[in-house]
Amino acid sequence: MQEIWISGLIVIALFYFFLILPQQIANRRRRKSLTKLSIGDEIVTIGGLIGRITQLDADRVSLEIAPGITVRALRSAISHRLLEGPQATREHKSRKTT
């Protein structure tokens, strides 16, 4: 009977360490990156639009997707920020190793 409890606890621990914890870490990183956005950053939305941030509100952003064309989007719809130069290369390499 005790072996069943131990094996059940092991399964729960494995689920936590392999499924739940990595997702929580990814969510923390994403929230942190969304709070660091600033005007002028080039970003990609979840839908694939690439644009430069022209205005930031608490939950919305305005993106210039082409000269003179501005769209509004929710901050939560931003997938990631595009980086340029040596910093982009370093971050890209570090993402591959994790």
Q: Could you tell me if residue 44 is left (phi over 0), alpha (psi between -120 and 50 degrees) or otherwise beta?
A: beta
Q: For 71-91, how does the pLDDT look when each residue is reduced to its tens digit (9 = 90+)?
A: 999 999 999 999 865 554 455
Indicate the number of domains in the chain. Answer: 1
Q: How does residue 58 score in pLDDT terms, banded at 50, 70 and 90?
A: confident
**Nearest by Cα to 79 from 44, 50, 54:** 44
Percent of the chain with pLDDT over 70: 85
Range of the domain at 27: 2-97
Reported pTM: 0.66
Dist CA 1 CA 82 (whole Å)? 55
